[in-house]
Amino acid sequence: MDQGKNEMKTPKKDVLGLSLAELTEEIKSLGMPGFIAKQVYEWVFKKYRSEFADMPNISKMNRDKLAAHFVINRFLSTQAISSGDGYAKKYIFELSDHAKIESVVLREKTYNTLCISSQCGCAVDCKFCLTGFAGLKRQLAPSEIVNQILYAFQDNEPISHLVFMGMGEPLLNFEAVFKAIEIINSEEGFNIGKRKITVSTSGILRGLQKLLDHEICINLALSIGNAIPSKRIGLMPIEKTNPLTDVINMVAEYQKTHNRKLTLEYTLIEGRNDAPEDIKELINLAKYLKAKINLINLNPHPKIPLKPISNEKMDAIKSTILAERVPVTIRFRKGQDISAACGQLGESLLTPC
């Protein structure tokens, strides 16, 4: 095979997965001025363009050269579904290999949050989450994570807050997630501050250790399931290999190092974690970690054989927690009618293409 054919098969590098410094070096290596990288970044991350042809301040010759060596990640297909109440919009994205992921725009009073995916599917298998039922299909590349945000902006959904609470366990795709956060957070990128980015985890010890080793400062949300380990294991099998007691110790160390907001996510399930002793242990854990509790009533799905608690019981549990002077909120069910609420993402993985 001749050299020309080999060069044609060289995969194009994705702009969405490169920092500005990396893109600058790549562009200079092709004999173009380094400042073109900044121009590309401006078009992509500030003006939300994804075609080099739409960047008129770059010469046609250089645009053609960019197109020959780079790509700005575009999904094969997209679908947007809005909830009846207008508070949520779910995106279903088809990736280059026809795998599908989902993300959700959550509309608040004064800002929009994007709940983004870090994996296609999930291997953690929390019994209250549809994504876990679907299983893990593959990891996402940094560019595929960043592209979810770019598409929301292109769809006229201004995003100021991010939560890695979509499909997947972020700390099991550590390098890609934090490379994406670096690009998202950079001043030249989307410039979304780290205090407005939250990473949710079921408690992956090796991922938490990497946070400590690399001194990464980010808002954390820890999914509890049940604060009693012997009961937690029935809801979150990850307890077998990542014991909650070890996770708590590591999170406490992280809190000492970084003064960042910690949230304990607690999905309430009838008969599984709503007993007085369950709530007492949750309160004790929140006090120890100086954390806020976010109560989430189970969002039902035919594939999940569990039941939510009543609204009256939810209010009573909130009152019990408040009486102990622990900050607590109830997560409003946004997007349940379009399977976009917490624990409902992944339906597209169960539907044949």
Could you count the other beta carbons within 10 Å of the beta carbon of residue 154? Answer: 13
Catalytic one among 102, 144, 169, 265? 102
Range of lowest pLDDT (37-46, 65-74, 78-87): 78-87
Q: Is the pLDDT of residue 264 over 50?
A: yes
Q: So where are the chain's domains? A: 3-71, 77-349
Q: CB–CB of 331/113 below 8 Å?
A: no
Top-level CATH class of 77-349?
alpha beta
Q: State mean pLDDT over 19-44.
A: 98
| Active-site annotation holds for 342 | yes
As given in the structure block, the two tokens for residue 291 are: 């954390």
Could you write out the DSSP letters of every residue in 110-128?
S-EEEE--SEEE-SS--TT
Top-level CATH class of 3-71?
mainly alpha
Backbone region of residue 24 per phi and psi (left: phi > 0; alpha: psi in -120 to 50; beta: other values): alpha
Dihedral over alpha carbons 239, 222, 104, 75 (to 10 degrees): -60
**DSSP reduced 3-state for 201:** strand
* Calpha distance 317→276 (Å, rounded): 9
Of the candidates 298, 194, 204, 303, the residue with the CA atom closest to the CA atom of residue 247? 204
Could you tell me which residues are beta bridge partners of residue 94?
77, 100
Catalytic one among 115, 126, 129, 342? 342
Q: How confident is the model at residue 334 (pLDDT cuts 50, 70, 90)?
A: low
- Report the half-sphere exposure of 222 (CA within 13 A, side-chain side): 32
- Please report the pLDDT score of residue 259 as a whole number: 78
| Active-site annotation holds for 122 | no
- Please report the pLDDT score of residue 353 as a whole number: 39
Range of lowest pLDDT (7-11, 49-53, 219-223, 267-271): 7-11
Could you write out the DSSP letters of every residue in 50-108?
--GGG-TTS-HHHHHHHHHHEE----SEEEEEE-TTSSEEEEEEE-TTS-EEEEEEEE-
